[in-house]
Amino acid sequence: MKYMLLVCGDDTNDASGMAPVEPWVEELGDRGVRQHGHRLALPADAVTVRVRGGEVLRTDGPFAETKEYVAGFDILECDSLEEAIEAAAKHPVATIGAMEVRPFFEDEDAEGEIRRLDAELTDAARAGDVDRVVACYARDAEVVSQGDHHRGAEALRKAWEARGPVTREVLEFRIHVDESIAFGHALIRTDGNL
């Protein structure tokens, strides 16, 4: 699971006695925990933007007047919140500032959703329910099979209707998920009446 680590400084503390950050960065990077991170400029260099009544309002300086500020961030990939907290506790800034650990919002399990969709497609094919089969594809889907290439869900519907009952067997199924996209590659055996 991904976690955002907000590195919070305090303008009343002197960072000169703090241990260097580089060994922490290197250790977590080598373990594959730290995905990305960076220091941020001081709050005096910040610009706060708001839109009110369609007008863009710009204020020089930080969002809120406070002694604490976000000095940097790190994105961690950890197995648990406890592992993320342990990593945050080892960050040198934790000795003079604060570390806020926040999980990324995960609105769905992309791999699980793809597997559920494939199971629905297989069940719909077994039941001969063309509407359910087509509902499993995007409107602009391209489906390529030996000797056939169907562009769009409606072309796929016509092909399924022309074949009659179809059996569907998944021989190989690979799923790739990253931060912005998830997709599956499948090798499928289908048989139908021509």
Q: Which CATH number fits domain 2-103: 3.40.1050.10, 3.30.70.1060, 3.40.50.280, 3.40.50.720?
A: 3.30.70.1060
Give 129's contacts (C-beta < 8 A, 6+ positions apart): none
Rounded to whole angstroms, the Cα distance separating 70 from 39 reads 9
**Cα-trace Rg, the chain:** 26
**pLDDT value of position 146:** 63
DSSP assignment of 28-77 equals HHHTT-EEEEEE---GGG-EEEEEETTEEEEEES-SS--SEEEEEEEEEE
Residues of the chain with CATH 3.30.70.1060: 2-103
Closest CA to 140 of 150, 132, 129: 150
Question: What does the pLDDT read at residue 194?
Answer: 46
User: What angle is formed at CA 73 by the lines to CA 60 and CA 56, rounded to 5 degrees?
Assistant: 30
Alpha-carbon span 97 to 18, nearest angstrom: 10
Element (H, E) at 127: helix 110-127
**Which residue, chain included where needed, has tokens 């087509």?**
134
Nearest to 66 by CA among 10, 15, 7: 10
Token couple for 49: 């933007």
Tokens for 178? Answer: 């990253």
Structural tokens at position 192:
């139908």
pLDDT along the chain (194 residues), means of 10: 88 68 94 92 86 91 72 92 96 91 79 85 84 78 68 76 74 81 79 62
CATH code of the region 110-192: 3.10.450.50
Return the closest-CA partner of residue 21 out of 103, 83, 95, 100. Answer: 95
Does the CA dihedral 71-77-81-83 come out positive or negative? negative
Specify the domain boundaries for CATH 3.10.450.50 within the chain. Answer: 110-192
